[in-house]
Structure 1
Protein backbone atom coordinates (compact mmCIF):
# COMPACT_ATOMS: atom_id res chain seq x y z
CA UNK A 1 0.00 0.00 0.00
CA UNK A 2 1.10 3.61 -0.51
CA UNK A 3 2.50 5.37 2.52
CA UNK A 4 -0.09 7.44 4.36
CA UNK A 5 -3.02 6.02 2.37
CA UNK A 6 -5.51 3.28 3.25
CA UNK A 7 -5.21 -0.10 1.60
CA UNK A 8 -6.89 -0.37 -1.80
CA UNK A 9 -7.47 -4.06 -1.19
CA UNK A 10 -9.39 -3.13 1.96
CA UNK A 11 -11.59 -0.93 -0.22
CA UNK A 12 -12.21 -3.61 -2.85
CA UNK A 13 -12.91 -6.29 -0.24
CA UNK A 14 -15.41 -4.04 1.51
CA UNK A 15 -17.14 -3.24 -1.79
CA UNK A 16 -17.31 -6.97 -2.57
CA UNK A 17 -19.03 -7.69 0.75
CA UNK A 18 -21.50 -4.87 0.12
CA UNK A 19 -22.30 -6.02 -3.42
CA UNK A 20 -22.72 -9.59 -2.18
CA UNK A 21 -25.61 -8.43 0.03
CA UNK A 22 -27.72 -7.50 -3.00
CA UNK A 23 -26.24 -9.19 -6.07
CA UNK A 24 -25.70 -12.80 -5.06
CA UNK A 25 -28.36 -15.43 -4.47
CA UNK A 26 -28.29 -17.22 -2.20
CA UNK A 27 -26.49 -14.82 0.09
CA UNK A 28 -24.04 -16.81 2.20
CA UNK A 29 -22.76 -13.99 4.42
CA UNK A 30 -25.10 -11.43 5.94
CA UNK A 31 -23.58 -8.09 6.87
CA UNK A 32 -26.09 -5.26 7.39
CA UNK A 33 -23.25 -2.77 7.92
CA UNK A 34 -21.50 -3.52 4.62
CA UNK A 35 -23.46 -0.89 2.70
CA UNK A 36 -23.33 1.88 5.33
CA UNK A 37 -19.56 1.62 5.77
CA UNK A 38 -18.92 1.68 2.01
CA UNK A 39 -21.58 4.22 1.05
CA UNK A 40 -20.03 6.90 -1.14
CA UNK A 41 -16.64 5.22 -0.96
CA UNK A 42 -14.54 5.54 -4.08
CA UNK A 43 -11.22 3.80 -4.46
CA UNK A 44 -10.13 5.86 -7.45
CA UNK A 45 -9.26 4.56 -10.93
CA UNK A 46 -7.70 1.12 -11.14
CA UNK A 47 -4.47 0.65 -13.07
CA UNK A 48 -4.93 -0.08 -16.76
CA UNK A 49 -5.55 -3.74 -17.41
CA UNK A 50 -6.98 -4.50 -13.97
CA UNK A 51 -9.57 -7.26 -14.47
CA UNK A 52 -13.09 -6.77 -13.17
CA UNK A 53 -13.95 -8.87 -10.12
CA UNK A 54 -15.78 -12.03 -11.20
CA UNK A 55 -18.84 -13.06 -9.18
CA UNK A 56 -17.06 -16.24 -8.07
CA UNK A 57 -14.22 -14.21 -6.52
CA UNK A 58 -16.74 -12.03 -4.70
CA UNK A 59 -18.42 -15.20 -3.48
CA UNK A 60 -15.14 -16.55 -2.15
CA UNK A 61 -14.66 -13.32 -0.17
CA UNK A 62 -18.11 -13.80 1.35
CA UNK A 63 -17.41 -17.47 2.03
CA UNK A 64 -14.21 -16.82 3.94
CA UNK A 65 -16.10 -14.48 6.28
CA UNK A 66 -18.95 -16.97 6.68
CA UNK A 67 -16.55 -19.83 7.49
CA UNK A 68 -14.62 -17.64 9.93
CA UNK A 69 -17.63 -16.26 11.77
CA UNK A 70 -19.32 -19.66 11.92
CA UNK A 71 -16.18 -21.05 13.55
CA UNK A 72 -15.99 -18.08 15.90
CA UNK A 73 -19.60 -18.45 17.02
CA UNK A 74 -19.02 -22.17 17.59
CA UNK A 75 -16.00 -21.48 19.78
CA UNK A 76 -17.11 -21.84 23.39
CA UNK A 77 -13.89 -20.68 25.05
CA UNK A 78 -12.88 -17.49 23.27
CA UNK A 79 -12.98 -14.30 25.33
CA UNK A 80 -11.02 -12.16 22.86
CA UNK A 81 -11.08 -11.76 19.10
CA UNK A 82 -8.12 -10.37 17.18
CA UNK A 83 -8.77 -9.26 13.59
CA UNK A 84 -5.43 -8.98 11.84
CA UNK A 85 -5.56 -6.62 8.87
CA UNK A 86 -9.08 -5.58 9.84
CA UNK A 87 -9.68 -3.19 6.95
CA UNK A 88 -13.38 -2.33 6.88
CA UNK A 89 -14.42 -5.55 8.61
CA UNK A 90 -17.63 -4.98 10.56
CA UNK A 91 -17.72 -7.92 12.98
CA UNK A 92 -16.83 -5.74 15.97
CA UNK A 93 -19.87 -3.53 15.29
CA UNK A 94 -22.26 -6.45 14.77
CA UNK A 95 -20.99 -8.37 17.79
CA UNK A 96 -23.77 -8.98 20.32
CA UNK A 97 -21.53 -10.16 23.16
CA UNK A 98 -20.25 -7.14 25.14
CA UNK A 99 -17.92 -9.41 27.12
CA UNK A 100 -16.05 -10.39 23.96
CA UNK A 101 -13.21 -7.92 23.43
CA UNK A 102 -12.37 -7.30 19.79
CA UNK A 103 -8.89 -6.07 18.87
CA UNK A 104 -8.61 -4.60 15.37
CA UNK A 105 -5.01 -4.70 14.14
CA UNK A 106 -4.16 -2.78 10.98
CA UNK A 107 -1.87 -0.23 9.35
CA UNK A 108 -2.20 3.20 11.04
CA UNK A 109 -3.34 4.93 7.84
CA UNK A 110 -6.00 2.31 7.12
CA UNK A 111 -7.17 2.41 10.72
CA UNK A 112 -7.51 6.20 10.73
CA UNK A 113 -9.50 5.99 7.49
CA UNK A 114 -11.73 3.28 8.94
CA UNK A 115 -12.56 5.36 12.01
CA UNK A 116 -13.53 8.22 9.70
CA UNK A 117 -15.73 5.85 7.71
CA UNK A 118 -17.43 4.60 10.88
CA UNK A 119 -18.15 8.16 12.00
CA UNK A 120 -19.48 9.20 8.58
CA UNK A 121 -21.71 6.10 8.44
CA UNK A 122 -23.08 6.73 11.93
CA UNK A 123 -21.78 3.37 13.18
CA UNK A 124 -21.01 3.57 16.88
CA UNK A 125 -17.85 2.00 18.27
CA UNK A 126 -18.66 -0.28 21.25
CA UNK A 127 -16.55 -0.16 24.39
CA UNK A 128 -15.50 -3.73 23.60
CA UNK A 129 -13.49 -2.59 20.54
CA UNK A 130 -9.77 -1.88 20.84
CA UNK A 131 -7.86 -0.34 17.91
CA UNK A 132 -4.27 -1.52 17.56
CA UNK A 133 -2.27 0.33 14.87
CA UNK A 134 0.51 -1.87 13.45
CA UNK A 135 2.60 -1.52 10.30
CA UNK A 136 3.58 -5.11 9.56
CA UNK A 137 6.59 -3.81 7.61
CA UNK A 138 8.37 -2.84 10.82
CA UNK A 139 6.31 -4.16 13.77
CA UNK A 140 4.76 -7.47 14.75
CA UNK A 141 1.19 -8.06 15.83
CA UNK A 142 2.57 -9.42 19.08
CA UNK A 143 4.40 -6.17 19.85
CA UNK A 144 1.41 -4.04 18.91
CA UNK A 145 -1.08 -6.04 20.95
CA UNK A 146 1.19 -5.85 24.00
CA UNK A 147 0.62 -2.07 24.08
CA UNK A 148 -3.20 -2.07 24.03
CA UNK A 149 -4.23 -4.41 26.83
CA UNK A 150 -4.34 -7.75 25.01
CA UNK A 151 -4.40 -10.61 27.55
CA UNK A 152 -2.17 -13.48 26.34
CA UNK A 153 -3.66 -15.77 28.99
CA UNK A 154 -7.26 -15.43 27.74
CA UNK A 155 -8.59 -17.83 25.08
CA UNK A 156 -8.51 -15.94 21.80
CA UNK A 157 -9.88 -16.32 18.27
CA UNK A 158 -7.79 -14.76 15.47
CA UNK A 159 -9.08 -13.75 12.03
CA UNK A 160 -6.68 -13.18 9.13
CA UNK A 161 -8.96 -12.77 6.12
CA UNK A 162 -7.74 -11.49 2.77
CA UNK A 163 -4.36 -10.69 4.31
CA UNK A 164 -2.05 -13.72 4.20
CA UNK A 165 -1.16 -13.44 0.47
CA UNK A 166 0.09 -9.88 1.03
CA UNK A 167 2.43 -10.88 3.86
CA UNK A 168 5.86 -12.35 3.33
CA UNK A 169 6.14 -16.02 4.17
CA UNK A 170 8.31 -15.21 7.20
CA UNK A 171 5.91 -12.57 8.54
CA UNK A 172 2.93 -14.90 8.15
CA UNK A 173 4.66 -17.82 9.86
CA UNK A 174 6.02 -15.61 12.64
CA UNK A 175 2.43 -14.50 13.27
CA UNK A 176 1.25 -18.12 13.26
CA UNK A 177 3.92 -19.07 15.82
CA UNK A 178 2.88 -16.18 18.06
CA UNK A 179 -0.76 -17.30 17.96
CA UNK A 180 -0.04 -21.01 18.49
CA UNK A 181 2.35 -20.51 21.39
CA UNK A 182 0.16 -18.29 23.53
CA UNK A 183 -0.51 -19.75 26.99
CA UNK A 184 -4.27 -20.05 26.49
CA UNK A 185 -6.14 -22.00 23.77
CA UNK A 186 -6.29 -20.19 20.44
CA UNK A 187 -7.94 -20.59 17.06
CA UNK A 188 -7.23 -18.87 13.76
CA UNK A 189 -9.01 -18.73 10.42
CA UNK A 190 -7.05 -17.49 7.41
CA UNK A 191 -7.26 -17.80 3.66
CA UNK A 192 -4.33 -18.29 1.35
CA UNK A 193 -3.34 -18.56 -2.31
CA UNK A 194 -1.83 -21.60 -3.92
CA UNK A 195 1.17 -21.22 -6.25
CA UNK A 196 0.45 -20.90 -9.95
CA UNK A 197 1.96 -24.33 -10.60
CA UNK A 198 -0.61 -25.98 -8.29
CA UNK A 199 -3.57 -24.75 -10.35
CA UNK A 200 -5.09 -26.46 -13.38
CA UNK A 201 -3.62 -25.01 -16.61
CA UNK A 202 -6.92 -23.42 -17.67
CA UNK A 203 -7.06 -21.42 -14.40
CA UNK A 204 -3.53 -20.03 -14.59
CA UNK A 205 -4.01 -17.07 -17.00
CA UNK A 206 -6.73 -15.46 -14.84
CA UNK A 207 -4.70 -16.04 -11.68
CA UNK A 208 -1.57 -14.52 -13.26
CA UNK A 209 -3.53 -11.51 -14.51
CA UNK A 210 -4.95 -10.87 -11.03
CA UNK A 211 -1.50 -11.19 -9.44
CA UNK A 212 -0.08 -8.70 -11.93
CA UNK A 213 -2.94 -6.27 -11.22
CA UNK A 214 -2.28 -6.43 -7.48
CA UNK A 215 1.39 -5.71 -8.07
CA UNK A 216 0.53 -2.66 -10.19
CA UNK A 217 -1.66 -1.39 -7.35
CA UNK A 218 1.36 -1.54 -5.05
CA UNK A 219 0.01 -4.45 -2.98
CA UNK A 220 1.62 -7.55 -4.51
CA UNK A 221 0.93 -11.10 -3.42
CA UNK A 222 3.99 -12.34 -1.55
CA UNK A 223 3.23 -15.78 -0.14
CA UNK A 224 1.83 -18.96 -1.65
CA UNK A 225 1.27 -22.43 -0.18
CA UNK A 226 -0.01 -25.80 -1.25
CA UNK A 227 -2.37 -27.47 1.25
CA UNK A 228 0.33 -29.94 2.43
CA UNK A 229 2.82 -27.09 2.85
CA UNK A 230 0.60 -24.88 4.97
CA UNK A 231 -0.55 -27.86 7.05
CA UNK A 232 3.08 -28.73 7.79
CA UNK A 233 4.02 -25.11 8.53
CA UNK A 234 1.10 -24.60 10.92
CA UNK A 235 1.79 -27.90 12.68
CA UNK A 236 5.41 -26.85 13.04
CA UNK A 237 4.27 -23.50 14.44
CA UNK A 238 2.46 -25.33 17.24
CA UNK A 239 -1.11 -25.88 16.08
CA UNK A 240 -2.64 -29.19 17.16
CA UNK A 241 -5.38 -29.34 14.55
CA UNK A 242 -5.50 -27.89 11.02
CA UNK A 243 -8.60 -28.06 8.81
CA UNK A 244 -8.15 -26.98 5.18
CA UNK A 245 -11.32 -25.98 3.34
CA UNK A 246 -11.46 -25.73 -0.44
CA UNK A 247 -13.95 -24.28 -2.89
CA UNK A 248 -15.95 -27.48 -3.34
CA UNK A 249 -16.06 -27.94 0.45
CA UNK A 250 -17.61 -24.49 0.80
CA UNK A 251 -20.14 -25.08 -1.96
CA UNK A 252 -21.25 -28.32 -0.30
CA UNK A 253 -21.31 -26.84 3.21
CA UNK A 254 -23.59 -23.97 2.22
CA UNK A 255 -25.68 -25.82 -0.38
CA UNK A 256 -24.41 -23.77 -3.33
CA UNK A 257 -24.31 -24.75 -6.98
CA UNK A 258 -21.57 -27.41 -7.25
CA UNK A 259 -20.84 -26.32 -10.83
CA UNK A 260 -19.65 -22.84 -9.84
CA UNK A 261 -16.06 -22.57 -11.10
CA UNK A 262 -13.10 -22.20 -8.75
CA UNK A 263 -11.33 -19.35 -10.54
CA UNK A 264 -8.25 -18.77 -8.39
CA UNK A 265 -7.88 -21.77 -6.09
CA UNK A 266 -8.13 -19.81 -2.84
CA UNK A 267 -8.42 -21.93 0.30
CA UNK A 268 -9.41 -21.36 3.92
CA UNK A 269 -7.66 -22.81 6.97
CA UNK A 270 -9.08 -23.21 10.48
CA UNK A 271 -6.33 -24.10 12.96
CA UNK A 272 -6.49 -24.71 16.71
CA UNK A 273 -3.81 -24.72 19.39
CA UNK A 274 -4.32 -26.09 22.89
CA UNK A 275 -2.11 -23.46 24.50
CA UNK A 276 1.42 -23.64 25.85
CA UNK A 277 0.16 -24.28 29.39
CA UNK A 278 -1.06 -27.81 28.66
CA UNK A 279 -2.25 -30.12 31.44
Structure 2
Protein backbone atom coordinates (compact mmCIF):
# COMPACT_ATOMS: atom_id res chain seq x y z
CA UNK A 1 0.00 0.00 0.00
CA UNK A 2 1.19 3.53 -0.68
CA UNK A 3 0.39 6.45 1.55
CA UNK A 4 -3.05 6.71 3.13
CA UNK A 5 -5.03 9.40 1.33
CA UNK A 6 -6.91 10.61 4.38
CA UNK A 7 -3.95 10.95 6.71
CA UNK A 8 -0.36 10.96 5.54
CA UNK A 9 -0.79 12.76 2.23
CA UNK A 10 -2.97 15.45 3.81
CA UNK A 11 -0.77 15.83 6.88
CA UNK A 12 2.37 16.26 4.77
CA UNK A 13 0.69 18.84 2.52
CA UNK A 14 -0.65 20.68 5.55
CA UNK A 15 2.83 20.83 7.08
CA UNK A 16 4.29 22.26 3.87
CA UNK A 17 1.49 24.82 3.59
CA UNK A 18 1.70 25.77 7.27
CA UNK A 19 5.44 26.45 7.00
CA UNK A 20 4.58 29.52 4.90
CA UNK A 21 2.17 30.99 7.45
CA UNK A 22 3.46 29.80 10.85
CA UNK A 23 7.26 29.75 10.68
CA UNK A 24 9.52 32.76 10.35
CA UNK A 25 12.10 33.45 7.65
CA UNK A 26 14.30 32.11 6.32
CA UNK A 27 11.87 29.78 4.56
CA UNK A 28 13.11 26.26 3.99
CA UNK A 29 10.61 25.38 1.25
CA UNK A 30 8.05 27.54 -0.56
CA UNK A 31 5.27 25.16 -1.56
CA UNK A 32 2.69 27.66 -2.75
CA UNK A 33 0.33 24.95 -4.05
CA UNK A 34 0.08 22.79 -0.93
CA UNK A 35 -2.78 24.73 0.68
CA UNK A 36 -4.97 24.44 -2.42
CA UNK A 37 -4.56 20.67 -2.43
CA UNK A 38 -6.00 20.40 1.06
CA UNK A 39 -9.43 21.06 -0.39
CA UNK A 40 -12.22 21.52 2.15
CA UNK A 41 -9.83 20.46 4.96
CA UNK A 42 -7.58 23.50 4.46
CA UNK A 43 -9.12 25.76 7.11
CA UNK A 44 -9.19 22.99 9.70
CA UNK A 45 -5.66 21.71 9.10
CA UNK A 46 -3.97 25.09 8.74
CA UNK A 47 -5.95 26.47 11.65
CA UNK A 48 -4.55 23.75 13.85
CA UNK A 49 -1.00 24.79 12.95
CA UNK A 50 -1.83 28.48 13.42
CA UNK A 51 -3.27 27.93 16.88
CA UNK A 52 -0.81 25.30 18.10
CA UNK A 53 2.19 25.79 15.83
CA UNK A 54 4.67 25.94 18.70
CA UNK A 55 3.54 22.56 19.98
CA UNK A 56 6.55 20.19 19.59
CA UNK A 57 4.77 17.54 17.53
CA UNK A 58 3.41 20.04 15.00
CA UNK A 59 6.68 21.95 14.67
CA UNK A 60 8.52 18.63 14.31
CA UNK A 61 6.10 17.59 11.56
CA UNK A 62 6.81 20.81 9.67
CA UNK A 63 10.56 20.44 10.11
CA UNK A 64 10.46 16.81 9.02
CA UNK A 65 8.42 17.51 5.90
CA UNK A 66 10.04 20.68 4.59
CA UNK A 67 13.62 19.59 5.30
CA UNK A 68 13.35 16.31 3.44
CA UNK A 69 11.61 18.00 0.50
CA UNK A 70 14.18 20.78 0.30
CA UNK A 71 17.12 18.39 0.34
CA UNK A 72 15.54 15.98 -2.15
CA UNK A 73 14.34 18.64 -4.56
CA UNK A 74 17.76 20.30 -4.61
CA UNK A 75 19.38 16.97 -5.57
CA UNK A 76 16.70 16.18 -8.13
CA UNK A 77 17.04 19.58 -9.79
CA UNK A 78 20.82 19.19 -9.84
CA UNK A 79 20.46 15.88 -11.69
CA UNK A 80 17.93 17.30 -14.15
CA UNK A 81 20.11 20.33 -14.89
CA UNK A 82 23.05 17.99 -15.48
CA UNK A 83 21.23 16.19 -18.28
CA UNK A 84 18.95 13.57 -16.71
CA UNK A 85 15.59 13.72 -18.45
CA UNK A 86 13.41 11.40 -16.38
CA UNK A 87 12.24 11.95 -12.80
CA UNK A 88 10.18 9.44 -10.80
CA UNK A 89 8.27 10.47 -7.67
CA UNK A 90 7.32 7.35 -5.71
CA UNK A 91 4.23 7.57 -3.51
CA UNK A 92 3.76 11.12 -4.77
CA UNK A 93 0.62 11.82 -2.73
CA UNK A 94 0.00 15.57 -2.78
CA UNK A 95 3.57 16.45 -3.70
CA UNK A 96 3.73 19.52 -5.97
CA UNK A 97 7.36 19.44 -7.12
CA UNK A 98 6.52 18.90 -10.78
CA UNK A 99 4.02 21.78 -10.82
CA UNK A 100 6.15 24.51 -9.25
CA UNK A 101 9.68 23.71 -10.46
CA UNK A 102 11.54 25.20 -13.38
CA UNK A 103 11.85 22.05 -15.47
CA UNK A 104 13.28 21.80 -18.96
CA UNK A 105 10.78 21.12 -21.72
CA UNK A 106 12.18 17.67 -22.42
CA UNK A 107 12.03 16.47 -18.80
CA UNK A 108 9.26 14.03 -17.89
CA UNK A 109 8.11 13.48 -14.31
CA UNK A 110 6.46 10.14 -13.55
CA UNK A 111 4.26 10.38 -10.45
CA UNK A 112 3.53 6.97 -8.95
CA UNK A 113 0.65 6.44 -6.53
CA UNK A 114 -2.78 4.88 -6.14
CA UNK A 115 -5.36 5.94 -8.74
CA UNK A 116 -7.75 7.43 -6.15
CA UNK A 117 -5.02 9.70 -4.81
CA UNK A 118 -4.04 10.78 -8.31
CA UNK A 119 -7.62 11.44 -9.38
CA UNK A 120 -8.35 13.74 -6.44
CA UNK A 121 -5.03 15.51 -6.77
CA UNK A 122 -5.57 16.22 -10.48
CA UNK A 123 -9.09 17.51 -9.80
CA UNK A 124 -7.81 19.92 -7.15
CA UNK A 125 -4.93 21.15 -9.30
CA UNK A 126 -7.39 21.87 -12.10
CA UNK A 127 -9.86 23.59 -9.76
CA UNK A 128 -7.26 26.13 -8.61
CA UNK A 129 -5.81 26.69 -12.07
CA UNK A 130 -2.41 25.27 -11.14
CA UNK A 131 0.05 25.05 -13.99
CA UNK A 132 -0.63 21.87 -15.90
CA UNK A 133 2.18 20.18 -17.69
CA UNK A 134 2.47 17.65 -20.46
CA UNK A 135 5.69 16.62 -18.73
CA UNK A 136 3.80 15.00 -15.82
CA UNK A 137 2.89 11.34 -16.36
CA UNK A 138 0.61 9.74 -13.76
CA UNK A 139 1.40 6.07 -13.13
CA UNK A 140 -1.38 4.43 -11.08
CA UNK A 141 -0.13 1.49 -9.04
CA UNK A 142 0.16 0.15 -5.52
CA UNK A 143 3.79 0.08 -4.43
CA UNK A 144 3.14 -2.76 -1.99
CA UNK A 145 1.73 -5.09 -4.63
CA UNK A 146 2.39 -3.99 -8.21
CA UNK A 147 5.50 -4.16 -10.36
CA UNK A 148 7.16 -0.76 -10.40
CA UNK A 149 9.23 -1.42 -13.51
CA UNK A 150 6.33 -2.78 -15.53
CA UNK A 151 4.05 0.06 -14.45
CA UNK A 152 6.57 2.72 -15.41
CA UNK A 153 7.42 1.13 -18.76
CA UNK A 154 3.72 0.89 -19.62
CA UNK A 155 3.54 4.69 -19.28
CA UNK A 156 6.55 5.51 -21.41
CA UNK A 157 9.42 5.32 -18.94
CA UNK A 158 12.70 4.36 -20.61
CA UNK A 159 14.65 2.18 -18.19
CA UNK A 160 17.57 2.24 -20.61
CA UNK A 161 18.13 5.91 -19.80
CA UNK A 162 19.11 7.22 -16.36
CA UNK A 163 16.50 8.75 -14.09
CA UNK A 164 16.38 10.53 -10.75
CA UNK A 165 13.99 9.00 -8.22
CA UNK A 166 12.51 10.84 -5.23
CA UNK A 167 10.99 8.63 -2.53
CA UNK A 168 9.86 10.57 0.55
CA UNK A 169 7.60 9.70 3.45
CA UNK A 170 6.72 6.25 2.14
CA UNK A 171 9.27 3.54 2.98
CA UNK A 172 8.20 3.37 6.63
CA UNK A 173 4.64 2.46 5.64
CA UNK A 174 5.73 -0.52 3.53
CA UNK A 175 6.88 -3.95 4.59
CA UNK A 176 10.60 -4.68 4.42
CA UNK A 177 10.12 -7.05 1.49
CA UNK A 178 8.31 -4.38 -0.52
CA UNK A 179 11.04 -1.82 0.21
CA UNK A 180 13.71 -4.28 -0.94
CA UNK A 181 11.75 -5.12 -4.09
CA UNK A 182 11.32 -1.47 -5.01
CA UNK A 183 15.00 -0.72 -4.39
CA UNK A 184 15.96 -3.69 -6.57
CA UNK A 185 13.71 -2.39 -9.36
CA UNK A 186 15.22 1.10 -9.23
CA UNK A 187 18.72 -0.36 -8.90
CA UNK A 188 18.08 -2.16 -12.19
CA UNK A 189 17.49 1.08 -14.09
CA UNK A 190 20.23 2.51 -16.27
CA UNK A 191 23.64 3.25 -14.81
CA UNK A 192 23.77 6.70 -13.24
CA UNK A 193 20.18 6.61 -11.99
CA UNK A 194 20.00 8.52 -8.70
CA UNK A 195 17.77 7.78 -5.72
CA UNK A 196 16.91 10.15 -2.87
CA UNK A 197 14.89 8.44 -0.13
CA UNK A 198 14.14 8.98 3.52
CA UNK A 199 13.74 6.30 6.18
CA UNK A 200 12.90 6.10 9.86
CA UNK A 201 15.49 5.19 12.46
CA UNK A 202 14.73 2.42 14.96
CA UNK A 203 14.37 3.05 18.66
CA UNK A 204 17.77 3.54 20.21
CA UNK A 205 19.08 5.72 17.38
CA UNK A 206 16.50 8.46 17.85
CA UNK A 207 17.15 11.41 20.09
CA UNK A 208 14.75 12.45 22.86
CA UNK A 209 12.79 14.87 20.66
CA UNK A 210 12.34 12.21 18.00
CA UNK A 211 11.15 9.65 20.52
CA UNK A 212 8.63 12.17 21.86
CA UNK A 213 7.35 12.61 18.30
CA UNK A 214 7.10 8.82 17.81
CA UNK A 215 5.23 8.39 21.09
CA UNK A 216 2.71 11.02 19.99
CA UNK A 217 2.28 10.10 16.33
CA UNK A 218 2.80 6.34 15.92
CA UNK A 219 -0.46 5.42 17.61
CA UNK A 220 -2.36 7.93 15.46
CA UNK A 221 -0.78 6.48 12.29
CA UNK A 222 -1.82 2.97 13.31
CA UNK A 223 -5.32 4.18 14.03
CA UNK A 224 -5.54 5.57 10.50
CA UNK A 225 -4.66 2.15 9.10
CA UNK A 226 -1.09 3.22 8.28
CA UNK A 227 1.24 1.83 10.94
CA UNK A 228 4.96 2.38 10.62
CA UNK A 229 6.29 -0.99 9.56
CA UNK A 230 9.90 -0.63 8.51
CA UNK A 231 12.89 1.03 10.13
CA UNK A 232 16.55 1.00 9.13
CA UNK A 233 19.85 1.68 10.75
CA UNK A 234 22.12 3.69 8.44
CA UNK A 235 24.44 0.69 8.06
CA UNK A 236 21.51 -1.62 7.40
CA UNK A 237 20.12 0.57 4.65
CA UNK A 238 23.57 1.06 3.12
CA UNK A 239 23.96 -2.74 2.95
CA UNK A 240 20.53 -3.14 1.34
CA UNK A 241 21.30 -0.41 -1.20
CA UNK A 242 24.54 -2.17 -2.09
CA UNK A 243 22.71 -5.49 -2.52
CA UNK A 244 20.23 -3.75 -4.83
CA UNK A 245 22.90 -2.27 -7.11
CA UNK A 246 23.56 1.14 -5.58
CA UNK A 247 26.58 3.03 -4.35
CA UNK A 248 25.77 5.35 -1.46
CA UNK A 249 26.62 8.96 -2.33
CA UNK A 250 25.80 10.29 1.12
CA UNK A 251 23.61 9.69 4.12
CA UNK A 252 22.47 12.77 6.02
CA UNK A 253 20.83 13.64 9.31
CA UNK A 254 18.11 16.28 9.38
CA UNK A 255 20.55 18.94 10.53
CA UNK A 256 22.72 18.20 7.48
CA UNK A 257 19.85 18.44 5.00
CA UNK A 258 20.06 22.25 5.06
CA UNK A 259 22.73 24.89 4.86
CA UNK A 260 23.71 25.99 8.36
CA UNK A 261 22.23 29.47 7.78
CA UNK A 262 18.74 27.95 7.49
CA UNK A 263 19.02 26.66 11.05
CA UNK A 264 19.67 30.17 12.38
CA UNK A 265 16.02 30.60 13.24
CA UNK A 266 13.63 32.52 15.51
CA UNK A 267 10.83 29.96 15.41
CA UNK A 268 10.36 26.48 16.86
CA UNK A 269 11.86 24.50 13.98
CA UNK A 270 14.85 22.53 15.22
CA UNK A 271 16.60 19.46 13.78
CA UNK A 272 15.97 16.11 15.44
CA UNK A 273 17.02 12.52 14.80
CA UNK A 274 13.92 10.65 13.68
CA UNK A 275 14.86 9.92 10.11
CA UNK A 276 17.72 10.13 7.65
CA UNK A 277 18.03 10.57 3.92
CA UNK A 278 20.07 8.35 1.65
CA UNK A 279 21.29 9.65 -1.70
CA UNK A 280 22.52 6.77 -3.87
CA UNK A 281 23.55 6.10 -7.45
CA UNK A 282 22.76 2.92 -9.38
CA UNK A 283 25.50 0.89 -11.04
CA UNK A 284 22.98 -0.20 -13.70
CA UNK A 285 22.39 -3.53 -15.37
Same fold (TM over 0.5): yes
The alpha-carbon distance between structure 1 residues 7 and 173, as it changes in their structure 2 partners (threshold 3 A), is farther
Contact 1:206 1:264 in 2 (8 A): no
CA contact (8 A) 1:57 1:263 kept: no
Once the 2 structures are TM-superposed, how far is the Cα of residue 32 of structure 1 from its aligned partner? 2.3
Map 1:1-279 → 2, pairs under 5 A: 6-25=5-24, 26-41=26-41, 53-75=57-79, 76-96=82-102, 97-200=104-207, 203-250=210-257, 252-257=259-264, 261-263=270-272, 265-276=274-285
The change in CA–CA distance for 1:60 and 1:54 in structure 2 (over 3 A counts) is same
Query: Is the Cα contact below 8 Å between 2:248 and 2:278 reproduced in 1?
Result: no
| Residue 143 of structure 1, CA deviation | 2.3
User: Are 2:36 and 2:42, in contact at CA under 8 Å, matched by a contact in 1?
Assistant: no
Count of aligned residue pairs for this structure pair: 271
Tell me the C-alpha RMSD between the 2 structures. Answer: 2.7
Higher-helix-fraction structure: 2
Q: Which runs of 5+ in 2 are unaligned?
A: 49-54
Secondary structure at 2:154 match in 1: coil
Q: Is the 8 A contact 1:11 1:43 kept in 2?
A: no
Q: Tell me, yes or no, if the aligned pair for 1:93 and 1:124 is still in contact at 8 Å.
A: yes
The TM-score normalised by the length of structure 2 is 0.85
Q: Give secondary structure in 1 for the equivalent of 2:149.
A: helix
Tell me, yes or no, if the aligned pair for 1:77 and 1:155 is still in contact at 8 Å: no
TM-score by length of 1: 0.87
Q: Which runs of 5+ in 1 are unaligned?
A: none
- Aligned with 1:130: secondary structure? strand
Summarize the Cα distance change of 1:184–1:7 in structure 2 as closer, same or farther, 3 Å threshold.
farther
How far apart are the structure 2 equivalents of 1:154 and 1:43? 43
